[in-house]
Structure 1
Amino acid sequence: MKKLFRSAAVLALAAALLVSLTACGKKQETQPETEEPVQEAPTTLRVGALKGPTAMGLVELMKASDLVSAGEEVPQAYDNLPDAVDTYTFTLAAAATELAPQLVKGDLDIACVPANLAATLYQQTEGEVVTLGINTLGVLYIVENGNAVQSLADLEGKTMVASGKDSTPEYALRYLLEENGVDPDTGVVIDWKNEHSECVSALASGAATIALLPQPFVTVAESKMPELRTALDLTAEWDALDNGSALITGVVVARRDVVEAHPQAVERFLEQYAASVDWVNANTADAAALIGEYGIVDAAVAEKALPACNIVCITGSEMKEKLSGYLQVLCDASADSVGGAMPGDDFYYGAE
């Protein structure tokens, strides 16, 4: 009887194993094979940038791309295109108003523009513009002929010249003054000029002793007036608030249809752009020479200004956190500054 019981048990176990193996076999048969991602054909991306800090980080990539396009060997110092799978054409402009229409019309695929303009374009195109990354943090400084200004609170009762009314310089300055207890409407007199160069001229003539200036105009002013002092770095003042955002000057945007049609090319561009930014920040003199070669800024000015230009390549979730916080500050001050409303989550490429 015990023998019969043992035989029955063995048969039952064998049957169970057979069922299990059969099931596993069926599962393996129905499991889909992993497909290799389809590789895109090489493409040409048309990139626009402004003459100034927002274009400076591109110069190594520009040089390498130009050499490849010309069929020339890329020196190791500029070798930022290891695969040489894509080509680029670059358009440099003096004003964002030149680049924005080209991007909207489809004459450009990617553009480096002011952060608030990116948000405005998103609204104007009903979401057809996406931000790939932050390329320039704050470049605004308070400069002074004297030693009266040691903090933003010291601007109380003072008169200063500035340019950039109804744009980033004004919004950033107003926010920082308010956060430091100074009423931007009654606590300080701001003489708004049309151009940054007018502010430099006012300092040089003695008509003003305090000015809000961006780089590289700070460097230009200091070259003309050795006694001029950089009193405050507005990026550092913003960071001191520890509000989760950052003072941002420029971002890299792309048309959504380009991102969707050429996702691998866009990813490669971002990788190469980040490498170019790293090279520019690590090779000031060589980068300044290229910046001068491309007519972005005079090479001598660029070499002095680069360390204070806060050139970066911030992407993904960190980009979304910093940029959305900054745009919220602008939106709270004036919704028109960001196109009437805050952009949606689909504005931030690659952010979770």
Structure 2
Amino acid sequence: MKHKISLVFVALLAMVAIGAQPVAEKSVDSPLEVHFAVMAGPTGFSSVALNKNEGRIADDIQIAMQVFPSPNEVVARLANGELDFACLPSNLAANIYNKGVKIKLAAVIGNGMLSVVSSDGSVQGVGDLLGKTIHVPGAGSTPDQMAQLLLKEAGLAAGKDVILDYSVASPAQLAQLTIAGKVSLAMLPQPFVSMILNGSKNATEVVDIQVLYEDLSGVANYPMSVMVVREQFAKNHPRALAQILKAYEDSVAWVNAEPQAAGEAIEEAGIMKAALATPSIPFCNLVFVPSQEAKEEVQAYYRFLHSFSPASIGGAVPADNFYL
């Protein structure tokens, strides 16, 4: 009888010990599948090392990455919980947060990479823009917002002192027209700036928007792209969250250090052709700045946007709980 009681007691202790252990987020045999969205173009460049080992960034974490041509589908999937992470333009992240989508800004992954390019070198700087027409790819786009903001800060009125032409919405098409000399001035992001400068011996960079932004605002950088995480995922999977952020930081470092291999991976992922991506990577300002470290510069950029167009960020500068 004593022997039986001892066995029962030992069994009970074992059950208690098992119950006291933290529950693993997922076993190695059944890894946690993380749904991750990136955009075609430079916003998606820094993510590609996550695809190594078929997305298995840890024994118990599997990244399922999807590439989208435009933000609309990403926003819808974030809103209904189909996505756990997404890389987005920073103003769009603020916009959907202000519209009630439960996300947190996890990190800045890309700083500014815009330039005004001249097809013939006839314009040398901001002072020469008076009376000129600048082609911008899409009304309401980040290039458009920055063009209008910076013209205003420089004391030039869009539509009066400088004409902004939105007739060519495709950055790739606008770049080709600039190379051909059919467009005199264009404001474009990388990799299209590099594409123009490499494609035409007459083309020149007129204005580095990042330098102008710092001169006018006093802030060194503006965040063009960010990584967001679904609030519920961050709450439910803190350990996985930390591992994913570290893996992304490592991915950024690899892409910057190995542009040739990264370009091939970018093309394989369906983000952009390697011939365009590889030469532009050194100029794309790919970074990884955790949310809290980036907060001051992000807030400054949002205040800058809000002062000009509150609707561009959803009507308000995001509150502190937007930041992870």
Q: TM-score scaled to structure 1, two decimals?
A: 0.79
Aligned residue for 1:270, secondary structure, equals: helix
Q: Please, which of 22, 32, 41 is the counterpart of residue 52 of structure 1?
A: 41
Q: Please, which of 136, 156, 161 is the counterpart of residue 182 of structure 1?
A: 156
Match status 1:252 vs 2:227: yes
1:245 CA drift (Å): 6.0
Q: Name the residue aligned to 1:156.
A: 130
1:281 CA drift (Å): 0.5
1:348 CA drift (Å): 0.9
Gaps of 5+ in 1: 1-34, 69-80
Q: Name the residue aligned to 2:239.
A: 264
Q: Which amino acid aligns with 1:301?
A: L
1:196 CA drift (Å): 1.6
Q: Point out the more displaced range, 267-276 or 222-231.
A: 222-231
Q: Name the residue aligned to 1:167.
A: 141
Match status 1:138 vs 2:127: no
The within-5 A match list for 1:277-316 is 277-316=252-291
Q: In the superposition, relative to structure 1, how do residues 36 and 236 fare at CA in structure 2: closer, same or farther (>3 Å)?
A: farther
Q: Name the residue aligned to 2:103.
A: 129
The within-5 A match list for 1:23-42 is 40-41=25-26, 42=31
Match status 1:233 vs 2:208: yes
Distance in 1, matches of 2:228 and 2:249, equals 15
Q: Name the residue aligned to 1:103.
A: 78
1:204 CA drift (Å): 4.0
Distance in 1, matches of 2:98 and 2:105, equals 13
Gaps of 5+ in 2: 1-19
Aligned residue for 1:208, secondary structure, equals: coil
1:299 CA drift (Å): 0.8
Match status 1:333 vs 2:301: no
Q: Name the residue aligned to 2:184.
A: 209
1:164 CA drift (Å): 2.8
1:246 CA drift (Å): 2.5
Please provide the CA RMSD for this pair: 2.1
Distance in 2, matches of 1:300 and 1:85, equals 35
Q: Please, which of 165, 186, 191 is the counterpart of residue 191 of structure 1?
A: 165
Aligned residue for 1:246, secondary structure, equals: coil
1:195 CA drift (Å): 1.9
Q: Name the residue aligned to 2:318.
A: 343
Contact 1:119–1:342 (8 Å) recurs in 2: yes
1:140 CA drift (Å): 1.2
Distance in 2, matches of 1:280 and 1:104, equals 30
1:149 CA drift (Å): 2.9
Q: In the superposition, relative to structure 1, how do residues 234 and 36 fare at CA in structure 2: closer, same or farther (>3 Å)?
A: farther
Distance in 1, matches of 2:214 and 2:303, equals 16
Contact 1:55–1:296 (8 Å) recurs in 2: yes
Q: Which amino acid aligns with 1:194?
A: A
Contact 2:111–2:287 (8 Å) recurs in 1: yes
Q: In the superposition, relative to structure 1, how do residues 236 and 84 fare at CA in structure 2: closer, same or farther (>3 Å)?
A: farther
Match status 1:91 vs 2:66: yes
What is the CA deviation profile of residues 269-310 of structure 1, one whole-angstrom value per residue up to 9, with x for unaligned ones? 111100110111011111111112212111121111111111
The within-5 A match list for 1:2-81 is 40-41=25-26, 42-66=31-55, 68=56, 81=57
Q: Structure 1 vs Structure 2: percent identity of aligned residues?
A: 31
